Homo-oligomer: A and B are copies of this chain.
Amino acid sequence: MTDQPMSHDNLKSLSAQDVRTAIRDGKYFGHTSGLAAGKLQCNLAILPERYALDFLRFCLRNPKPCPVVGVSETGDPYLPTLGRDIDIRHDVSRYRVFRDGQLVDEPSNLQELWSDDLVSVALGCSFTFENALVRHGLPVRHMETGQNVPMYRSNIDLAPAGPFGGKMVITMRPIPADQVKDAYEISGRYPQAHGAPIAHGNPSDVGITDISKPDWGEAVEVRAGEVPVYWACGVTPQNVLLDAKLPICITHSPGHMLIADVAEDAETTILTTT
């Protein structure tokens, strides 16, 4: 590698570990969509140990929006079950730091913020099933148009745990009516990445009042013959963490995921070093 900053295109042919190294070395600060093809990418939540048991209970009770794929020891910045030498203080290209539920900083490393009482929780992300949909010839509209997926605050209650609870955030992808069943079947193979859709059809059934006005991301067109299909979204745990107003919590910045060495279609998300 050079000492120069690297572009998304520069990184496309690199392994997961080499992408992480480029990020760790301060050569890349961008999003990770399309990088390290075939490897699991993860949402990230870092929080003080005293909230970790409740947060894990919350995730285990809401496995579709919050599929846990890795969890660190307290105070240990490494995540050996997800990848070789993953240092969570450096290996994500952009973080968000929240205090009492307010965004206070968006740093490119956690060197000065890391402390002995922090626990890292990695959660599966929709890239995994989107890649599978595309491999099977299903359209993924926001990928075709280069947009961010539309996300909506739904009317679906989460199973609470301790200070964590609220409503599920969902994504929407328009799918041709005759491929909706395939979309369920294909994404359902990835329980570590939100699994099968939560619902499809009428937006008001899931609490969406105007599908052209997502709460996050960008609206995409639903064409004639297409059905809006709704999946549980990894923004759910981030939202829930904000609402809980923890004294501190840290997440990845949207689209700037943690890239693991685990294959995205592996049976489990535990790295087996054979």
Contact = CB atoms under 8 A, between A and B. Distances in A.
A82 B196 CA distance: 20
Contacts of A268: 63-64, 191, 195
A25 B80 CA distance: 47
| Interface SS of A by simple majority | loop
Copies, count: 2
Interface stretch (A51-59, A87-95, A218-226): A51-59
Contacts of A49: 53
A267 B196 contact: yes
Interface string A178-195: 000000000010010001
Contacts of A159: 80-81, 270
Interface residues of A, number: 27
Contacts of A61: 71, 81, 270
Interface of A: 49, 52-53, 56-57, 60-64, 68, 70-71, 73, 80-81, 159, 161-162, 188, 191, 195-196, 267-270
16 contacts: A49-B53, A53-B53, A56-B56, A56-B60, A56-B71, A57-B71, A57-B73, A60-B68, A61-B71, A61-B270, A63-B268, A80-B159, A81-B159, A159-B270, A191-B267, A195-B267
